[in-house]
Each structure stands twice: as C-alpha cells, then as structure tokens.
Amino acid sequence: MSVLAPRDSPSSSRRVHPLHGTERTWTETNCYVDVWIEVLHSLGLEPLAACAVTLSGDFDGEQWSFFKFPAEDLRRLFGIDVAEMNVWRPVIDHVESELERGRLTTVEVDSFFLPDTEGVAYRRDHTKSTIVPAWIDREGRQLGYFHSAGFFELDGEDFDELFHLNGADPRVLVPYMEIVRLDAMRHDGIETLLSGVQDLVREHLARRSADNPVERLGIGVHEQLAVLVGRDFDEFHRWAFGTCRQCGAAAEIAAAFVSWLAELDPSSPDVSTQLLAVAEGAKALEFGLARAVRGRSFDSGPVLDKMASAWREAIEELARRYGA
C-alpha cells in the first residue's frame, strides 16, 4: 500500500525542492518543516506558498520560534486537512490503515533506527524526529518514508525496532501522530493561490511582536552563553539548534518566500537581501559562539546588530506594503 511514492520509483531518482538545495546556508530547518516541504513538493504543490509563517518569528527568551506550517494555512491554501490522531493501536496499524484510506500520517519516531541519519543519530543517539510514511510492506519488513530533506527506505531490523515489533516496551511513550487527509486537496490557479498567500502575509505580519525579536535574541544569547561556557559541547549544539539555527533557517526560507512572492506580484517588496543577511549572520553567530564556549574570544555585538537591523528593515517594508 502506498501514497505519493510508488515502490517502483527509487528514492535516488527523486529531486528535492530547491529549499533543500545544497547551496543554501541552512540546508535543513527542523524535522517538521523539512518533511512537509518534500511532501508538498511530491504532491505537486508549492511549499513556498505556505511560508508566510516565517514572518511572525519571535524569540521567547529560550528559543526562536520553532516554526511549523500551521494546519489552518495548509487547509486554506491547498485543502489539506491535518489533525492530531488518537493513537490507541500499535503505530504500524494506524500507518497501514490510513495509507489504505489514501491518507498520510506524520509520526514521531526514534532517529536511532533511521538509516538516513547515518553519521548523526543512526545507531548512535536516541532522538525524536518526524517522518511521513509513503508506503509500507509489513510482511517484507520495508518502509518508504519522507524525512528531513528527502525520501528514504528502510527494512529489516530497523523496521522492527522503529515500530516496536520485537515486544512492546512499557517505557516507550505513545508517539505523537497526525492524520493528513488529501481527499479535498486543491491545485488552485496562480491568481487564487496568490490571493490566499497575500491574506496569510497580512495575518502573520499582524501577529509579529511589537519590538525587534532579533534584538531580544541577542540579549538571550549573552545570558545563556554564560551558562554554556565550559559545558559539554553537545549541550551547546542542542541550544544552538533552538536559537541560531531556527532563526537563521527561518530567515532564509522567508527570503526565498518574499522573492517568490515578488515574482508573482511586483508590488510586493523583495526584501530577500535583508533576510539573507539575517540567515548568514545566524550562521556566523553559531560559529563564533562555538568558539566562545571553548573559551576563545568572540564579540557577537557586530553580528547581532547587523542581523537586527536587517530584520527590522525587511519586516517594516513588508508591513508598509501589506498594511499590517
């Protein structure tokens, strides 16, 4: 049983969306957004249309917004319905039954058993990540799934362990799952799609913080860095994922989004240069802070000041155009 990815279509032949191009500053964002980019792409939809959410990014004192495509945005733009699933049976049963209905599921799994994370988490580290199964063969112990920036396959022991088929461990928590219904999915014409996207730009800009969140990110960086100096470097990477990476990756996707939008509507300002400056600054900030955690000198002020100025210019120009 399969949806989206026939088993006779090898994963090596699939082309990823340009948002996952190797030339980008941040080739990955977070597991949820990355997998949705490739799922939408495989459905023949444009993921960029759903990226207005990046314009309302914020820093809450602990992390930059862990941005996700809101379910309501996906429904309005594409007719895709996403809802949380009540996981009352073994996960594999839910995956199979939803694929039989022509639906997808998002499933939180352990990356320890995902071979596409070779060299990072596979057989090394137990970390949760979101996948979207596209086809499954329980008898053959094989799975085709979307994860991160691509489509992959696994089998054998990885299949058994991923779905806990070697005996249920009572310590394993029920994973978070969503049902993705495609029966009302639409491929609107460009004018209809553009109108919906513009409405979402106004709404997300209206939700932005009253001040500059990048300036508050700078304050948070200085406060948290004092705690991180001399600590385990893995802890720094976990912290940087929620700060530098989420800010930078969101800004880079926002840059691609506003550039795409300006191509469709020349009256929409192309502030991609400013947003790319934020993305590139976040990468430089992460490298510099890594040095600081090891006890080396790094003045983050100039980098953060440039990032904050670029963010302000981009958002203010967009707000003037969209009256938000």
Q: What is the pLDDT of residues 222-255, one digit of tens each?
A: 888 888 887 778 888 899 999 999 999 999 999 9
Query: What span, in angstroms and rounded, lies between the C-alpha atoms of 73 and 70?
Result: 5
Domain end position, chosen among 123, 157, 181: 181
Average pLDDT of the chain? 92
What share of the chain has pLDDT > 90, as a percent?
77
Q: Are residues 24 and 155 in the same domain?
A: yes
State the pLDDT at residue 224. Answer: 87
State the pLDDT at residue 3. Answer: 64
Q: Are residues 108 and 243 in the same domain?
A: no
Q: Do 246 and 67 meet the contact criterion of CB atoms below 8 Å apart?
A: yes
Q: Which residue bears the tokens 């071979």?
A: 115
Q: Are residues 221 and 148 in the same domain?
A: no
Residue 169 pLDDT greater than 70, yes or no: no
Q: Are residues 21 and 110 in the same domain?
A: yes
Q: Are residues 286 and 230 in the same domain?
A: yes
Read off the pLDDT band of 173 (50, 70, 90). confident
Q: Are residues 224 and 143 in the same domain?
A: no
Which residue has better confidence, 231 or 298? 298
Q: Do 131 and 114 meet the contact criterion of CB atoms below 8 Å apart?
A: yes
Q: Are residues 147 and 32 in the same domain?
A: yes
User: Residues 308-324: what's their mean pLDDT?
Assistant: 95
Query: What span, in angstroms and rounded, lies between the C-alpha atoms of 5 and 39?
Result: 10
With residues binned 3-state (H G I as helix, E B as strand, rest as coil), the percentages for the chain, rounded to 5, are: 50, 15, 35
Read off the pLDDT band of 281 (50, 70, 90). very high
Q: Are residues 242 and 295 in the same domain?
A: yes
> Could you tell me if residue 307 is inside a domain?
yes
Cβ neighbours around 70 below 10 Å, total: 16
Cβ neighbours around 304 below 10 Å, total: 20
For residue 265, the enclosing domain spans: 190-322
> Could you tell me if residue 5 is inside a domain?
no
Q: What is the pLDDT of residues 118-148, one digit of tens each?
A: 988 899 888 899 999 999 999 999 999 999 9
Q: Are residues 111 and 158 in the same domain?
A: yes
Q: What is the pLDDT of residues 61-90, one digit of tens each?
A: 999 999 999 999 999 999 999 999 999 999
Domain end position, chosen among 181, 202, 236: 181
Amino acid at 255: A
State the pLDDT at residue 283. Answer: 96
Which residue has better confidence, 2 or 291? 291
Residue 10 pLDDT greater than 60, yes or no: no
Q: Are residues 133 and 279 in the same domain?
A: no
State the pLDDT at residue 12. Answer: 47
> Could you tell me if residue 297 is inside a domain?
yes
Cβ neighbours around 17 below 10 Å, total: 18
Residue 271 pLDDT greater than 70, yes or no: yes
**pTM (predicted TM-score):** 0.92
Read off the pLDDT band of 110 (50, 70, 90). very high
Q: Are residues 169 and 210 in the same domain?
A: no
Q: Are residues 212 and 304 in the same domain?
A: yes
- Output DSSP code: residue 242: I
Question: Number of folded domains in the chain?
Answer: 2
> Could you tell me if residue 262 is inside a domain?
yes
